[in-house]
Structures are given as C-alpha cells and as structure tokens.
Amino acid sequence: MSTPRIAARIRRIKPSPSSAAAERAATLRREGKKIVNLVVGEPDFDTPEHIRRAAYEAMERGDTRYTATAGTPALRQAIAEKLSRENGLDYDPAHIIVTCGAKHAIFNALAVTVDTGDEVLIPAPYWVSYPDMALACDGTPVIVPTTEEQDFKLDAQTLARYITPKTRWLMLNSPTNPTGATYSPEELRALADVLLDHPRVLILTDDIYEHIRYDGRKMRHLLHVEPALRDRVVVINGVSKTYAMTGWRIGYAAGPADIVAALDKLQSQSVSNACTISQAAALAALTGDQSFVAESVRIYERRRNRAVELLNKIPGLSCKAPGGAFYLFVNCAGLIGRTTPAGKTLENDSDIVLYFLETVGVALIAGSAYGTPNYFRASIATSIEIIEEGCDKLAHAVSELK
C-alpha cells in the first residue's frame, strides 16, 4: 500500500460541519428545492455604508499595497483604543496583530503554542472548529461537558477537575456559539480563581459575539475581572459579526509580547498581512458611527423572542432564550424514538436534522457537531418571515411523526 500523500495532521481532522451543512442546503437549492436555511452563522444585513465607503476611498487613494504583517498602525491603534474603551483592557498596539478573520487568529494562536500531546480544554457545546484546530496543531482536544441546567456554562469545579499537567489552553467563548450563553462577572471570578492555581494554562477568550447581547450590559472580560491573568490570556475578536463584515476577513489578537511576536512570525511566512482594503474598512467600523450595532441587536432580539415562542409550541422541542449571539440551541430529545411517515425511527439528533431537511426543507445543524447530542442549532441571523416559515415547517414535520 502506498504511503498517504496527505499529512497525518490533516487526515485526522474533518471538514467544518457548519460549512458542510451550508453547502448541502445550497446544493438542494441548485436542484430546485425550496430550502429554509437556518444554518448560516452570519448577519443577513449589508455592511454599513460608511464602512463600504471607507474601503472605496482607500482604493481610490491607492492604499492597495502590502502593510506590515501585523496590520496598519492606524488599525492596531484603533483596536487598542477599542479594547480600552469597551473592555477596560490596556494594550499597546505592538501587542496586537490583525489577522484574516478571528478564525485565523485562533488557529495561529494554537499553532504557535501547542506541542504534541498538549491538551486543549474545550467546553461543550463548542464552536465546531475548536477541536479540529487543536488536532491540526498536534494537540489533544479535551471536551469538557456542560448541561442545559447549567445554561451550558463551564463552572469552576468542573474546570478544576479537568485540568492536568498536560493542559496548555482553555478556550472560553462568550457569548457562545452555539448556545448564546453569557458568563457573568461572578462566574468569571470563580473560573479565574481556579486558573490562578495553574500558571501553565493559557486562556483564549473568543469574544467575537461580545456586542450581540440581550441583557443591555456590556460584556465584562475575564481580564477585567482578574488582571493577574494578563500574561496568560490571548484576546481574540474581529469585525465579522458585530459589523456584518464576515466576507471582509478581519480579526485580531491581543496578548503577551512573546505570543504576539510568534503570531507575527508565523503570519509573515503564511498569508503576510490581512487584506489592505479590508483593514481600511475595519478601521472605519471601529472608529465610525456605532448606531448599526445597537439597531442590529434590537432586531436579533425580536427574532430571538419570536423563534423561541414558536419552537416551544412544537411538541418534543424546547428552547431556552439565549443571552447573546444569534443562535438557538434547541432540545430535540423528545423526538428521539419517534417514527417518520416512511417508517424510519429517529435514533439521534442527526436523524432528526436530516428528516427536517428532506421532508420540509429546513436546514439545521445537529447538536452532535457541537459535542452535545440531542439538540440542534438554528440561526436567527435571518428575517422573522423566514424564521416563521421555518418554524411552521418544523411543526408540520413533527406532527407527521408517529
């Protein structure tokens, strides 16, 4: 048998389930089937006009050449000011790097710090890419379960139980994808107390949904709660979700000097700088009119409330209102064991999601993709009309089960 050409670190990871589900829905649409897509995790709004205009003006000025690997001085300064203004975090621009999306920043942070056998603690439900990123970087993902009764949040006792001498990272996402769970300052305080006892453990805070919250309060950052962790925390964020800029691919990392320097070195040998035009747009996003942010959150909240209302009326489904992000994590355990009109028994959440897609054309993602079976994720980053149509179709599909 010939030696595989693909490296082992790639063979052991899988394609993103989110991307696969979105592509499956797109394929069915191309085949002429009507699909209600509740998969895609991106705002359905256009990027605000003043941000688009900034990109156009940058092109007209001729700002189309390479920048420093870590990003333009103006954008790094704007990120530093944003972190100070909104998060109470003081970072010199030299300790900030601009990346090709927050996803890129997360992957590179693991790549420059994880050695073979290092463990990466990942609370479940988790964003689908965390475990595979750890695997691709020769690390060992360690899934830390949470429960719906805990509002899907990691508690201090569980964290302490899972830390070992091999633990290198804790991934902390708030508000979370897929559940929308948000951590209170008191909950962060309890986690910080555990982490202070384990100085080898680095902490990655994935703050990409920080502004999409429904409690009316600004997010309190772990480092604001416990500044003594500063030398071990890498702050990850970006403009994709807050400003409807997913395709512009601008994220950033702020952290200790040695880690940011390593990120700069790796990026210099891979993608070089993030897109120059996109950096100009991101600068306008961070420094310009912020009214879009508050208005979009108000719209998401109305969508959330309507979707939760409709889903909880469907027998066998239940859903708590998330505290943030634009997803619902729906408990579908009540449908397991039921039989479809075609005589197939629904044995798990993947069967349920496939049944909904094939019978009524509603695209969702199974909770098992997020490390938590018996649930599915539905995106509310779409119009209320589409949400209502999708829920009506789900109700009909459930009514057909035996």
Taking CA atoms, 233 is separated from 93, 197, 221, 228, 256, in Å, by: 16, 15, 11, 10, 7
Q: How far is the C-alpha of 240 from the C-alpha of 255, rounded, in Å?
A: 20
Q: How far is the C-alpha of 346 from the C-alpha of 145, rounded, in Å?
A: 24
Q: Please name the amino acid found at residue 373.
A: P
Exposure pattern of 69-107 as b/e (b: 16+ CB <10 Å)? Answer: bbbbeebbbbbbebbeebbebebebebbbbbbbbbbbbb
Which residues fall within 8 angstroms of residue 163, CB to CB, at 6 or more apart? 121, 194, 198, 201
Structure token pair of residue 69:
């690997």
Taking CA atoms, 44 is separated from 40, 47, 170, 223, 231, in Å, by: 9, 9, 31, 32, 37
Q: Using DSSP, state whether 366 is helix, strand or coil.
A: strand
Which residues fall within 8 angstroms of residue 106, CB to CB, at 6 or more apart? 129, 130, 133, 204, 206, 236
Structure token pair of residue 262:
């390593």
The pLDDT of residue 27 is 82
Q: Which residues lie across from 205 on neighbouring strands? A: 172, 235
Tokens 């710090």 — which residue?
Answer: 113
201 and 233 Cβ atoms separated by less than 8 Å: no
Measured in degrees and rounded to the nearest 5, phi and psi for residue 319 equal -155, 125
17 and 355 Cβ atoms separated by less than 8 Å: no
Q: Directed axis angle between helix 276-287 and helix 49-61, to 10°?
A: 140
Residuewise pLDDT in 10s, the chain (402 residues):
577 899 988 898 888 777 777 777 778 778 888 899 999 889 999 999 999 999 999 999 999 999 999 999 999 999 999 999 999 999 999 999 999 999 999 999 999 999 999 999 999 999 999 999 999 999 999 999 999 999 999 999 999 999 999 999 999 999 999 999 999 999 999 999 999 999 999 999 999 999 999 988 777 899 999 999 999 999 999 999 999 999 999 999 999 999 999 999 999 999 999 999 999 999 999 999 999 999 999 999 999 999 999 999 999 999 999 999 999 999 999 999 999 999 999 999 999 999 999 999 999 999 999 999 999 999 999 999 999 999 999 999 999 999
Ordered structural domains, the chain, with CATH:
8-46+292-399 (3.90.1150.10), 49-287 (3.40.640.10)
The pLDDT of residue 130 is 98
The pLDDT of residue 235 is 98
Q: Directed axis angle between helix 384-399 and helix 349-360, to 10°?
A: 110
Which residue from 141, 56, 156, 54 is spatially nearest to 106, judged by alpha carbons? 141
Structure token pair of residue 384:
């209320």
Whether the pTM exceeds 0.75: the reply is: yes
Q: Using DSSP, state whether 98 is helix, strand or coil.
A: strand
299-308 contacts at long range (C-beta below 8 A, 24 or more positions apart): 300/212, 300/214, 300/326, 300/380, 300/381, 301/214, 302/384, 303/380, 303/382, 303/383, 303/384, 303/387, 304/214, 304/328, 304/380, 306/384, 306/387, 306/388, 307/378, 307/380, 307/387, 307/391
Measured in degrees and rounded to the nearest 5, phi and psi for residue 256 equal -60, 150
Tell me what percent of the chain is helix, strand and coil, each rounded to the nearest 5: 45, 15, 40
Q: Write the DSSP assignment of 99-150 as a string of letters.
A: ESSHHHHHHHHHHTT--TT-EEEEEES--THHHHHHHHTT-EEEEEE--GGG
140 and 165 Cβ atoms separated by less than 8 Å: no
In SS3 terms, 175-241 reads as: CCCCCCCCCCHHHHHHHHHHHHCCCCCEEEEECCCCCCECCCCCCCCHHHHCHHHHHHEEEEEECCC
Q: Using CA of residue 45, residue 382, residue 204, residue 130, what is the dihedral sign?
A: negative
